Amino acid sequence: MRIAVSARTLDYPSGGPKEYLIGLVNALLTIGGHELVLYYSRADHLGTFPGATENVLPVRNRLLFDWLALPLALRRARPDVAFFPSSNMPPGIPCPAVVAMLDLGYFHPTLRMYKTADTCYMRRAIRYSARRAERIVAISEHTRRDVLRLTRARPENVSVTPLSCDPIYKRPVSPDAVASFRRDHRLSRDFILYAGNISPRKNLSVLLAAFAKVRGALDCDLAVTGGLAWNQDFEADVARLGLAGRVRRLGHIARDDMPLLYRAASALAFPSRFEGFGLPVLEAQACGTPVVCADATSLPEAAGKGALLVDPTDTEAWAAALARVTTDTALRRTLIAAGRANEAHFTWEKTARLTLAALEAAAGAPGR
């Protein structure tokens, strides 16, 4: 098959959608047997995937890329099937299509997850995609249930393709490299890590409140990655709780440095109230870092038995969990071993083969 792939998510600085695209495409290329035709919005992405056919549609505006440039390019290229890895596809696609549904947080009735304009656009786009695409792949059972509950997708056309973490998280890392990373980022004290974006759905207000309750008993700081999209809310919580000297803002960490960050951390705390999958959980498990995460949405699927699961709304429970995961040596050993075993069940090869099955089914769907 000739598989066209919309690769605009490579423009993102970091995050799950970008990791998904990179991991899946690399695995598809390793399996081989099909031609992958990728479409970028920027020329500096050329060479990202050796072995693929790479094309640049020099349109930086997201809507112009999706609605105009890409459909025109696909009409000329005439692929057997097109793959859209970011929860929606535009109108005018002239071939069978598969859409990956990453999460349906745009439909959540109470949590602020995305800006208003993005929410309005994506609700319509997701519902259209669920009707139009020949097949849908959901990255967790939780997301599949949301797709079936919130759209008119047919159950037999929606399959689950769980994610995996990049091989960089499984490579050996020297203690000297970890020590150098800590020096470069001025991480002289031990720390609990939150890895991800800063937004209300990530539930950092509960994490900060829990950390404030046990800060006197813990000889460690809280280190937080992520951009500034919801910075005002976060900084207000830090100031209100008197945590200015104990919370470290790391900002964006380069992808190749993330394994060093996980290995430097005493634990990963991931309190998110809504996830489509939860890749940071697997990344930390692969690095041998104990995990505490929310018992919500898709996170129990991702974490398996390799994490301490906590109600995302219970500040007292989170405070107790942070204390346990940093001081209970036996628990730490158990979580590290169970985490590695759980992470090993997820591979990009499995994800790629399940995705190929959906692509083949779409390409052979009647009426196309």
Show the domains of the chain with their CATH numbers. 2-164+348-363 (3.40.50.2000), 167-344 (3.40.50.2000)
Orientation angle between helical segments 329-344 and 279-286, nearest 10 degrees: 110
Measured distance CA(140)–CA(34) in Å, rounded: 25
Measured distance CA(241)–CA(258) in Å, rounded: 28
For 37, 103, 300, 308, the CA distances from 81, given in Å and listed in that order, are: 10, 23, 33, 41
Measured distance CA(63)–CA(300) in Å, rounded: 35
Give CA angle at 307 (174, 219), nearest 5°.
Answer: 65
pTM: 0.92
Measured distance CA(21)–CA(6) in Å, rounded: 9
Which residue, chain included where needed, has tokens 């089914």? 361
pLDDT in tens, 150-178: 999 999 999 999 999 999 999 999 999 99
The reported pLDDT for the residue numbered 236 is: 87
Measured distance CA(339)–CA(295) in Å, rounded: 16
Measured distance CA(349)–CA(24) in Å, rounded: 8
Which residue, chain included where needed, has tokens 């830090």? 238
Question: 3-state class of 323 per DSSP?
Answer: helix
Token digits for 117? 């304009």
Closest CA to 266 of 208, 205, 196, 219: 219
The reported pLDDT for the residue numbered 73 is: 98
- Spell out, as residue ranges, where the chain has pLDDT lower than 70: 112, 228-232, 366-368
* HSE-up of residue 194 (Cα within 13 Å, Cβ side): 29
The reported pLDDT for the residue numbered 118 is: 85
pLDDT in tens, 27-79: 999 999 999 999 999 999 999 999 999 999 999 898 999 999 999 999 999 99
Token digits for 286? 């692969």
Residues contacting residue 287 through CB under 8 Å, at least 6 positions apart: 169, 173, 259, 262, 263
Q: What is the mean pLDDT of the chain?
A: 94
